[in-house]
Structure 1
Amino acid sequence: MTMLKRSVACTLIVILLLIAGLIVVLQDRRAEAAAGTRIVIGGPAGDLVYHRLGQGEAVVLLPSFARSAADFNQLAQALADAGYRSLAIQPQGIEGSAFGSLDVSLADYAADIAAVLDAEGVATAHAVVGHAYGNRVARVFAVNHPERVRKLVLLAAGGGKPPPPDINAAIRKAVFGFDGAARDAAIALAFFAGETVPAAWVKGWYPLAALHQTRATTAQSYSSWSHGGSAPMLILQPADDTAAAPADSEKLATQLGERATRHVIANAGHALLPEQAEAVALHILRYLDTPEER
C-alpha cells in the first residue's frame, strides 16, 4: 500500500470512528415507562404524547431538561390518590412527541400544554408543575395563557443565569457522555445531594431533545417570562441545588411578594424528585388544596 493510500485509509477510519462516536452520544437513553394511560394527540408540532393518571381537576406536569415525564411517576400517583388528574407531558423529541421547527422557543413548548388541555376538555388547569427546565415552560405558559392556569408550582426553579461552569460541564456529560464512572460522578455532582445516582437517572436522557430545548431557551429574554404572569406560585427549592442556586429562587420569591410561597427541601439536589418524593408531594398537595384568594 502506498503512503497516499495509507493516509486515505487512516483518514477514513478516523472519520468512521468520529461518526460512530457521534451516533453513540446522540442516542436516547430511554426512561422507564411513564405512569398512567399513554395518549397521543395532534399537537402544534405533530404527534404529542402525554400520560393521564387519575380523575378530577387537571394538574399538568412538565419534566426537567432532556428528561422524560417518567420522572413524575411517584408524584403523578400521589396526585391521583388525592383526587387529581395528572397530565404528564412528554416534551418534543421524547418518547413519541414530535420535534417542531428548529426555530423554536419556549412559547412552542407552552403551546403543547394548551393542546393537551384542549384534548382533555379542560378550560383552566388547577395547576401547572414544572421541574427545572419545565419550570421555564410553566412560567411562559402562565404569561401567554393566564386564563388557563390557577396555580404554578416550580421545582428547582432556575433560568435567571446559567449554572457555574463546572456544573454546566457535568450536565453536558450527563446528557452526552459515555457510560461509566466519570459520567455517574457528573450526574451526582449536578443533580444529587448524595453520591448515589438512582438507575432511573443513569438512563432517561434524550440528547437531541437537549439540543432542541437549548435552542428554545435562548429564543427570548428571561425578563419576558420570569414573573410567570399573575398566578399564585409555589417554589420548592432543593437545599443542595448546584444547578439552580437557592439564592436565585429566594430572589424570585422576594420579587413576586405575596404571590409566591417558597419552601426549601433539605437533603436534595437539582433532581429533587427521586431524593425527596414524599416531601415534594406533601408540599404540592397542601398547596393545591389551599383555597384560592379572590
Structure 2
Amino acid sequence: MDTRRVQRGPARIAYAAWGHGPAVLLLASLGRGAEDFFEVAPLIAAQGFRVLAPDPRGIGDSEGPMTGLTLYDLAEDAAAVLEAEGTGPALVAGHAFGNWVARALSACRPELVRGVVLLAASITQNLDPAVRASIDGSFDPALSEAERLGHLQRGYFAPGHDARVWLTGWHPPVARMQRAATAATDQRWRRCADRHATLYVAAALDTIAPVPTEAALREALGDRVALTVIPDAGHALLPEQPAATAAAVVAFAGRADAARHGRAEGPAIPRIGA
C-alpha cells in the first residue's frame, strides 16, 4: 500500500493506493475512512487493478472546508484522485453512504466512470427511526462502549460477527458534514444505472439496507443494474465478508467494460449471487 495526496483548491485529499492496472475507486461509509477497505483493496489489486481509496475531508490527512458542500463537491474530491493518477475511467464502488458519492460522481463526472458498484447501499434516504437511532448511537461518544456495541450489532453486523472491530474509526464531524452535503444536493445523482452499468451488492442480513427487489432497483437506479447477494453479512459487509466483496467487484469489472462498449448480453438484471 502507498499513501498519496492531491490538492483540489482549498481541499487536500489523501488516499491509499494498491496495485497496477485499470482503476477501481473505493468510497467509504458515513463518517468512516479508507481503512475500512484495507482487507478488501489488496484482494482486488491482486487481480490486476489499481485500487484507490480516499479519506473524506476531516479524516487523516484529508482536509478542506466542511460547510456549504453538496455531494457533488465530495464527488469532485474523488475525481481529483482519479485525475492525479491518470488511470482513465474507473470502476467506482461506494459502501453504504459512499454509494451516494459514487452515484454523484457518475452524474457530475461521467467521463471518469466506467461502472458503478453499490455495496450494502441505501437506495433511498427513508430510514426507520429505530434504525437511524442505531446508526447515530454507533458513533455517539456520549454513550458507553457497551451501548455503542449494542447499536453496532443491531444496525451493522450479522449474528455471529464481532461488532467490536467497528468501535473505532468513526468521525462524527465528518458524518455531520456528509449528511448536510446530502441534504443540500439536487436529485439528478440518483439514477446512476441510466448513465453507467451498475452492480448492487446486497448483504443478506442487512437491517439498514435490506435486500431490494429487482423492481425496486430499476425504479431507484435505472435499468442497467445487476444484483448479487452476499450471505452471512450485515450492513458493515467489508469486515464481515472481505473476500466475497472483492470477488463481486472483480467479477463485475469485465461486465462493466462490456456494457460500456455496447457488448452487454443477457437480461437487464441478472441475479449473480444467491
Q: Please indicate the TM-score interval, normalised by the length of the shorter structure.
A: 0.7 to 0.9
**Is the 2:18–2:52 contact (alpha carbons within 8 Å) kept by the matching residues of 1?**
yes
Which residue does the alignment assign to 2:258?
292
Which residue does the alignment assign to 1:137?
101
**Is the 1:233–1:260 contact (alpha carbons within 8 Å) kept by the matching residues of 2?**
yes
The whole-number CA distance in structure 2 between the counterparts of 1:136 and 1:249 is 19
* Paired residue secondary structure (1:231): coil
**Closer, same or farther in 2 for the Cα pair 1:278/1:147, shift >3 Å?**
same
**1:40: how far off?**
1.5
State the Cα deviation string for residues 129-150 of structure 1 (Å, max 9, x = none).
1001100000010011111111
Aligned runs of 1:38-77 on 2, under 5 Å?
A: 38-77=3-42
**Is the 2:28–2:95 contact (alpha carbons within 8 Å) kept by the matching residues of 1?**
yes
State the Cα deviation string for residues 154-187 of structure 1 (Å, max 9, x = none).
0011141332111111111111143421110101
**Closer, same or farther in 2 for the Cα pair 1:191/1:185, shift >3 Å?**
same
Aligned runs of 1:95-134 on 2, under 5 Å?
A: 95-125=60-90, 127-134=91-98
Which residue does the alignment assign to 2:125?
161
Structure 1 stretch 38-47 or stretch 59-68: which is displaced more?
A: 38-47
**Closer, same or farther in 2 for the Cα pair 1:232/1:203, shift >3 Å?**
same
* Paired residue secondary structure (2:139): helix
Which residue does the alignment assign to 1:208?
173
Rg (Cα) greater in structure:
1
Structure 2 unaligned regions, length at least 5: 263-274
Q: CA RMSD in A?
A: 1.8
**Closer, same or farther in 2 for the Cα pair 1:137/1:249, shift >3 Å?**
farther
Q: Percent of counterpart pairs with the same letter? A: 35
**1:83: how far off?**
0.8
Which one-letter code corresponds to 2:73 in the other structure? D
**Is the 1:253–1:261 contact (alpha carbons within 8 Å) kept by the matching residues of 2?**
no
**1:282: how far off?**
1.4
Which residue does the alignment assign to 2:116?
152
- Runs of 4+ residues deviating >4 angstroms: 254-258
State the Cα deviation string for residues 214-273 of structure 1 (Å, max 9, x = none).
11111124x421101511001001121111232377612455565111012222111111
Aligned runs of 1:186-265 on 2, under 5 Å?
A: 186-194=151-159, 196-221=161-186, 223-228=187-192, 229-247=194-212, 251-253=216-218, 256=221, 258-265=223-230
Which residue does the alignment assign to 2:139?
175
* Paired residue secondary structure (1:83): coil
**Closer, same or farther in 2 for the Cα pair 1:162/1:45, shift >3 Å?**
farther
TM-score, structure 2 normalization: 0.88
Which residue does the alignment assign to 1:278?
243
Number of residue-to-residue matches in the alignment: 257
- Relative to its length, the structure with more helix (as a share) is 1
TM-score, structure 1 normalization: 0.82
